[in-house]
Structure 1
Amino acid sequence: MTNWLPDLSAGDGPLYLRLAQSIEAAIDSGVLPPGEKLPAQRNLAFDVGVTLGTVSRAYALMHERGLVAGEVGRGTYVRERKSHTETGATEVQSLAGTQTGDAPVGKLRFDSTGAPQVGQAAAIEEILKQVATDQPTEVSEYTRSAPHRWQEAGMIWLSRAGWEPDAESIVATQGVHAAIISVVAAVTAPGDRILFENLTYSQVARALSLMGRRILAGDTDAQGLVPEDFERICQQQHPAVVFLMPTLHNPTLAGMDRVRRQKIADIAQRYNVLMIEDDIYGILIGDAQPMLASLAPERTFVVSGLSKSVGPGVRGGWVSCPRHFSARVKIAHKMLSGGTAFLLAECAARLVLSGAAREIRTRVVAELAARETLARESLKGYDFRSLPQVPFLWLHLPEPWLSGTFKAAALEAGVMIDGEDEFKAGRSDKVHHRVRIAFSNHGRDDVRRGFELLRTVLDGGLAGYDSAS
């Protein structure tokens, strides 16, 4: 074992982060070569004059970054670092799951929940023409400031169920995903724990893992996150942020009542946990339950956008921040995204301020209701959850189907769907035997055909599916 000791005078941030940076620098320079054993945590804490907790947190962060490996009874060792060409694409693909882009030729995409086509292109085209005519300089240059109207549009779009944010608290973002990532980057550091429900919008959980945050998963029931488990995790794991979809959960369609929301807000207050309230589907279903932001305004970030109700290609999103946080989130968003695209942000704002977004939303809801009716007709007799305003359903698979096997059988039949593993924040032993079937892509005739194909697979059972050997 080397006599190396870290230099904590260099680097930025808290001691554990500086210690982690020193370890990583030593590994990069070869001072700590692959296979080298790191000092015992207690010994290192004594040698450099820090607490054992500081060292433990730094070592845990090194584990998260894949730089070291711990062996019970033997200690912590520097891992062999493969080249970027060997590991980079593989690791990112693994974190991204199977959502790799375009569908195979001839397959129907029932794995996407953006707003269906209802003629919104005409309204978007007209607004884009207006922007190019009215603001040719801004369109052709970098965005250096955010007009106040972007915040006004966000205030209008986020206001719901009697809650209205202050326009000054709003940050315009490149969609909801970017909003969530920016919030977490602004209020946490690498190594901090972020809590998700055990089924969730997993793409953001995986993105945060790439950023060095540690992901926790809480138990859920028919309403979402279980308060008792939330409190247990707060006591034992001390998460910095919890991500929630209280109005309409993706993929389960669960919704929290007022009592549940109040319990969650009270626990977050008691343990000083910040909350991200994803309300992207709230604008579709118009739920009257109070927003978490109205119950705990000092610790709740609300994110929403246009992707599910107007059009995902606009990339219009907003986040409402608690007092004093908006500047930090705005800077984080700029650092992470390279800055807001003026054309898209201005288009999103004008869609909202002109009333066009609300009118498109009305047509989208009507179209989704018609498609949900098709689902009920085609899948009659099978157990699933759906709502007329929501672009997906949550199907419980009959015996002896497994989620992954049914997903493969559906693809073979011509339909891409999402298995339950696509929504797990991390590894889990809990099995739901469910799949999510989305139906906002394609025209209505293709949607009907897709449901009929899925019905055929369900009716045929495993006897009708021969997996590749």
Structure 2
Amino acid sequence: MAEDFRRVADRVAAEIAAGRLRPGDRLPTQRAFARSHRIANSTAIRVYGELVRRGLAVGEVGRGTFVRAAPPSPGHALAEERTPEPETAMQAGTSGSAPTTSGAPAINLELNYPVAEGQSELMAASLAGLLRPDVLEAATRPAAADGTPAAREAAASLLARGGWRPHAGQLLFAGNGRQAIAAAIASFVRPGGRLGVEALTYPLVKAVAERLGVTLVAIEADDGGLSPDALYAAHRRAPLSAVYVQPTLHNPTSVTMSEERRERLAAACEELDIGAVEDTTWAFLAPEAPAPLAARVPARTVLVDSLSKRLAPGLTTGFLAAPVSRTSQLAEALRSGAWTAARFNLEAATRWITDGTVATVEAAKRADAEDRHRLVRRRLAGFRVRTEPRAYYCWWELPAPWRTDTFVAAAAARGIAVSPGRAFAVPPYAAPDAVRIGLATPPVEVLSYALRTLAEVAEQGPPGRP
């Protein structure tokens, strides 16, 4: 019966939860498992499938099935609260393991939320004026998708870069950057349509596309970013409606497109008659980068950005700078998706931008990112790591014979969570054996320990290696 295989899977899950089966351990072959549990081979197959479905195991072709790292929990968002003090961490490193809480990784290098020293005090000072009853009354009223005149002017100044500045009539607002991306994609691509994306792309775009019924088409990228030639080739195979791209500090590889590459990509969008969703969420870390696509093909580009990385993820605002011809369509997408920004958030964002709070915090985070990048160069020297001095993440191509899920599991066994390459790959089965390491969340001392530990894990090789 169906319940039988689930009960067997429950027992294996209990073994994993109790630590008797650890991340990276190889499970018996399905035939051996069936014999030891006195079940049919077909039932064993269903048990292993159930373990994979629950995220407790991963199968690797030709190598077997392994216990994998536990999926991230909401508690990881406050990794500092669960991270050992540096002295404790160093002691743990010498004993071969790191402390964990309830079996979950204690150091989270998946989530990537930079926090600058003193930013909360700056933000609080900006909000003091909102506490006046008359101001608060206005700030708690509903807001339209195009916000307020003050918010539009503030957003225009925030998004200006490389000699380009959107005008107020182009600006719309969402609750956060993810909602801005969803609205932009929905405005360009109908259900069943095709959206070009870098072969390694922001994981949320994959989820948004699935929800909207949009087919993602992987576009080859190289050391210069998304390839315009590959975009032409993909469009010839079957027409694309738009392309989603991160020209500055691409996540996860941190590549920044050159001026020449951006010009070629803009020309391709014009010639192919397709739109562009340009994500500049991390571009504040590289203010010297070339002007955005929105400056080159303004009639075809919707630029999206947010405050989540600049300031904090909990109280944020998403921005869309769109062609005036598309603002009505985008506003409707925002309203129908319930993605419009709250008026209070708009008022807070406007104050933070206009009084210099955002600029001050951005500068502090740029310096912090460079400090953390120096740790990457020192701790991961000798490995194939792609990153850039301003980036808050790096892309690590694992040395053979490591496989991604086995490495993720081995890192989790040492108390460290990293992002597997398949989370970014389109399609997931085409993922290289690589991981993304988020550098922003833990304290610098703990990050240093984590990077050193990951280097040790990589050098030791996978479990069971002859």
Q: TM class, shorter-chain normalised?
A: 0.7 to 0.9
How do 1:369-388 and structure 2 match up within 5 A?
369-388=370-389
C-alpha displacement of 1:246: 1.1
Looking at structure 2, the residues matched to 248 and 459 of structure 1 have their Cα atoms a distance apart, in angstroms, of 28
Which of 75, 91, 113 in structure 2 is aligned with 1:102?
75
Q: Which amino acid aligns with 1:200?
A: T
CA deviation vs aligned residue, 1:391-439 (integer Å, no higher than 9, x gap)? 111112112111221111111111111111010233443x432211111
Using the size of structure 2 for normalisation, the TM-score is: 0.75
Match of 2:147 in 1: 146
C-alpha displacement of 1:180: 1.0
Looking at structure 2, the residues matched to 383 and 305 of structure 1 have their Cα atoms a distance apart, in angstroms, of 31
CA deviation vs aligned residue, 1:281-324 (integer Å, no higher than 9, x gap)? 21111233232112111101111122222222222221100122
Match of 1:449 in 2: 449
SS at match of 1:216: strand
Higher relative CO (Cα under 8 Å, sequence separation at least 6) belongs to 2
Q: Is the 8 A contact 2:175 2:339 kept in 1?
A: no
Match of 2:92 in 1: none
Match of 1:424 in 2: 425
Percent identical among aligned pairs is 25
Q: Is the 8 A contact 1:316 1:344 kept in 2?
A: yes
SS at match of 2:74: coil
Q: Does 1:114 align with 2:87?
A: no
C-alpha displacement of 1:338: 5.1
Q: Is the 8 A contact 1:403 1:433 kept in 2?
A: yes
Looking at structure 1, the residues matched to 465 and 162 of structure 2 have their Cα atoms a distance apart, in angstroms, of 47
Q: Is the 8 A contact 2:285 2:390 kept in 1?
A: yes
How do 1:15-94 and structure 2 match up within 5 A?
none
Q: Is the 8 A contact 1:174 1:345 kept in 2?
A: no
CA pair 378-112 structure 1, distance change in 2 beyond 3 A: same
SS at match of 1:217: strand
Match of 1:190 in 2: 191
Looking at structure 2, the residues matched to 391 and 464 of structure 1 have their Cα atoms a distance apart, in angstroms, of 33
SS at match of 2:142: coil
Q: Which amino acid aligns with 1:101?
A: P
Match of 2:310 in 1: 309
Q: Does 1:319 align with 2:320?
A: yes
CA pair 414-270 structure 1, distance change in 2 beyond 3 A: same
CA RMSD of aligned residues (A): 2.5
C-alpha displacement of 1:220: 1.3
Q: Which amino acid aligns with 1:436?
A: R
CA deviation vs aligned residue, 1:78-137 (integer Å, no higher than 9, x gap)? xxxxxxxxxxxx89xxxxx95653337351110122223422111222233322325221
CA deviation vs aligned residue, 1:332-382 (integer Å, no higher than 9, x gap)? 112213532122222112111111100011111111221222222222222
SS at match of 1:195: strand
Q: Is the 8 A contact 2:255 2:387 kept in 1?
A: no
Match of 2:279 in 1: 278
Q: Does 1:459 align with 2:459?
A: yes
Looking at structure 2, the residues matched to 116 and 194 of structure 1 have their Cα atoms a distance apart, in angstroms, of 33
Looking at structure 1, the residues matched to 164 and 352 of structure 2 have their Cα atoms a distance apart, in angstroms, of 21
**Structure 2 stretches of 5 or more lacking a match?**
1-52, 55-69, 77-99
Q: Does 1:364 align with 2:379?
A: no
Looking at structure 2, the residues matched to 288 and 373 of structure 1 have their Cα atoms a distance apart, in angstroms, of 21
Q: Is the 8 A contact 1:173 1:318 kept in 2?
A: yes
C-alpha displacement of 1:171: 0.7
Looking at structure 2, the residues matched to 102 and 328 of structure 1 have their Cα atoms a distance apart, in angstroms, of 38
C-alpha displacement of 1:142: 3.3
Match of 1:58 in 2: none
**Structure 1 stretches of 5 or more lacking a match?**
1-89, 92-96
Using the size of structure 1 for normalisation, the TM-score is: 0.75
Looking at structure 2, the residues matched to 356 and 284 of structure 1 have their Cα atoms a distance apart, in angstroms, of 15
Q: Which moved more, 1:110-119 or 1:155-164?
A: 110-119
C-alpha displacement of 1:186: 2.5
C-alpha displacement of 1:165: 0.9
Q: Is the 8 A contact 2:256 2:289 kept in 1?
A: no
C-alpha displacement of 1:463: 4.6
SS at match of 1:411: helix
SS at match of 1:319: strand
Q: Which moved more, 1:239-248 or 1:187-196?
A: 187-196
CA pair 464-384 structure 1, distance change in 2 beyond 3 A: farther
Match of 1:438 in 2: 438
SS at match of 1:337: coil
Q: Which amino acid aligns with 1:228?
A: D
CA pair 98-194 structure 1, distance change in 2 beyond 3 A: farther
Match of 1:233 in 2: 234
Match of 2:294 in 1: 293
SS at match of 1:313: coil
Looking at structure 2, the residues matched to 324 and 173 of structure 1 have their Cα atoms a distance apart, in angstroms, of 18
Looking at structure 1, the residues matched to 297 and 432 of structure 2 have their Cα atoms a distance apart, in angstroms, of 32
Q: Is the 8 A contact 2:255 2:388 kept in 1?
A: no
Match of 1:126 in 2: 125
SS at match of 1:312: coil
Looking at structure 2, the residues matched to 99 and 262 of structure 1 have their Cα atoms a distance apart, in angstroms, of 39
Q: Which moved more, 1:291-300 or 1:124-133?
A: 124-133
